[in-house]
């Protein structure tokens, strides 16, 4: 983006969806950690009354706000022309995000979000990647728990491998060691929306099931990878592993990063994820038991049953309590190979992964996108290709994420 365009922007950053569950957490984090800095930021939403309540509850009286309509492009154009960066927490993104991305690209405004909707990201890639490059705009998806720990974790691991061995790893296997956290209504509704859309649209199902679904020229890849869909014994970690619910988006983001970097990690680079369920044979059966709820939700067809699920589970705007967010955590381990195991990388985060930690990751991504000197790359990007080393530095310094590399 040109300096002339940047100087015409009133704000560095606008938090769109600031009154939603995650939006509030992002605003609270930024106000607490950046109130004594020169960061020029504002709240954004569609309901002025809710924004005023937010300002009152968090004592954000010094922070300006803007009102816009997510279904009105002219309204979004008026908002996006005022800022360097839009940080969106409004999902489901395939319902409420497309016009905003379009407005950002037209106004040469950078954008980031926390979507895990693979089919929508592919739609944005197909529609807007070329135009975003032409306008020198960065559109960075998946800046939360899905998929920063995975994408930046691989970025960190590969850079350390290159630094220590002179070449990149040919394979990285990520294993979830342990995880604790709750779920919000917004995430549940986004998940149900993906299921509903995939039933209606064959092309969406195809994208979701395609390991290279976010890389348009998938013929350039020389590996055939499939998502883990059962409990298996992993010879690397010497434990039983099962499907990790976020793998379907995380693995696609990591592969797109490699694609966007002209296959810097190689066309035969392999990346996979799995959730460790235990060491004994009983762990295998327990692992299958844990998959039952996910399987049942995925099979929801009956309207009455779907309504019951929506009634019982949290509504949009609702989520884990403050204590639950603070007590949560995640621990990832990346097994790094070059023919044989060469290193183990640990990526650990403090706070409920989906909210306590995600709000910090998203806030730092947005600020990084707004004010840091970044890789010279535009288009529909990933955290590692759009934000790279500056984001890694911010995550380690500010967002309670720990990255550690050990050669074996």
- Specify the pLDDT at position 3: 44
3-state helix, strand, coil in the chain (%, to 5): 50, 20, 30
Per-residue pLDDT tens digits for 278-335: 988 877 777 777 776 665 555 555 555 555 555 555 555 556 667 777 889 999 999 9
Burial class (CB in 10 A: 0-12, 13-18, 19+), 264: middle
- Specify the pLDDT at position 4: 39
Task: Count other C-beta atoms under 10 Å from residue 106's C-beta.
Answer: 16
- Specify the pLDDT at position 1: 43
Which regions of 138-269 does DSSP assign to beta strands (E)? 138-140, 171-180, 232-234, 239-242
- Specify the pLDDT at position 298: 56
Strands 329-338 and 171-180, sheet pairing: antiparallel
Q: Could you give the CA distance from residue 85 to residue 12 in angstroms, rounded to a whole number?
A: 6
Residues of the chain with pLDDT under 50: 1-5
pTM of the model: 0.92
Is residue 144 within 8 Å of residue 353, measured between CB atoms?
Answer: no
Question: Following DSSP, what letter does each residue of 120-151 receive, concatenated?
Answer: HHHHHHHHHHHHHHHTT-EEE---BTTBHHHH
CB contact set of 390 (below 8 Å; sequence gap of 6+)? 368, 372, 373, 374
- Specify the pLDDT at position 287: 73
Reference 272, options 319, 337, 343; nearest CA is: 337
DSSP symbol at 263: S
Task: Count other C-beta atoms under 10 Å from residue 299's C-beta.
Answer: 10
Residue burial 268-279, b: 16+ Cβ < 10 Å; e: rest: ebbbbbbbbbbe
- Specify the pLDDT at position 333: 98
Is residue 140 within 8 Å of residue 387, measured between CB atoms?
Answer: yes
Residue burial 53-68, b: 16+ Cβ < 10 Å; e: rest: ebbeebebeebebbeb
* For the chain, domain boundaries: 3-144+357-399, 148-351
- Specify the pLDDT at position 202: 85
Q: What are phi and psi of 287, to 5 degrees?
A: -60, -45
Reference 179, options 79, 59, 57, 277; nearest CA is: 277
Burial class (CB in 10 A: 0-12, 13-18, 19+), 89: buried
* Top CATH class, 3-144+357-399: alpha beta
Q: What is the largest CA-CA distance in the chain?
A: 63
């Amino acid at each position: 983006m040109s300096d002339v365009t940047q100087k015409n922007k009133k704000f560095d950053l606008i938090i769109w969806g600031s009154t939603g569950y995650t939006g509030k957490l992002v605003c609270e984090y930024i106000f607490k950690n950046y109130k004594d800095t020169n960061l020029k930021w504002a709240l954004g939403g569609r309901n002025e009354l809710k924004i005023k309540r937010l300002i009152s509850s968090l004592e954000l009286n010094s922070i300006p706000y803007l009102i816009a309509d997510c279904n009105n492009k002219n309204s979004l154009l008026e908002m996006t022309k005022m800022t360097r960066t839009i940080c969106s927490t409004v999902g489901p993104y395939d319902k409420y995000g497309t016009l905003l991305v379009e407005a950002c690209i037209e106004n040469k405004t950078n954008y980031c979000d926390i979507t895990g909707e693979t089919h929508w990201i592919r739609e944005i890639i197909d529609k807007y990647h070329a135009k975003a490059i032409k306008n020198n705009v960065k559109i960075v998806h998946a800046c939360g728990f899905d998929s920063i720990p995975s994408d930046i974790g691989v970025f960190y691991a590969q850079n350390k491998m290159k630094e220590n061995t002179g070449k990149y790893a040919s394979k990285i296997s990520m294993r979830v060691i342990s995880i604790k956290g709750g779920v919000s209504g917004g995430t549940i509704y986004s998940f149900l929306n993906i299921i509903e859309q995939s039933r209606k649209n064959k092309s969406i199902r195809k994208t979701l099931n395609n390991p290279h679904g976010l890389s348009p020229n998938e013929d350039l890849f020389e590996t055939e990878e499939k998502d883990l869909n059962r409990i298996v014994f992993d010879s690397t970690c010497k434990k039983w592993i099962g499907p990790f619910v976020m793998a379907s988006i995380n693995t696609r983001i990591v592969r797109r990063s490699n694609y966007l970097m002209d296959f810097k990690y190689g066309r035969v680079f392999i990346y996979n994820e799995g959730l460790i369920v235990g060491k004994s044979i009983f762990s295998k059966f327990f692992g299958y038991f844990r998959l039952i709820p996910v399987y049942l939700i995925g099979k929801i067809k009956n309207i009455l049953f779907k309504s019951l699920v929506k009634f019982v589970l949290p509504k949009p705007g609702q989520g884990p309590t403050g204590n639950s967010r603070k007590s949560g955590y995640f621990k990832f381990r990346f097994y790094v190979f070059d023919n044989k195991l060469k290193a183990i990388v640990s990526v650990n985060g403090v706070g409920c992964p989906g909210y306590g930690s995600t709000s910090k990751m998203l806030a730092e991504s947005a600020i990084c996108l707004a004010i840091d000197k970044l890789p010279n790359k535009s288009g529909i990007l990933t955290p590692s290709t759009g934000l790279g080393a500056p984001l890694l530095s911010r995550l380690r310094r500010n967002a309670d994420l720990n990255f550690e590399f050990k050669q074996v």
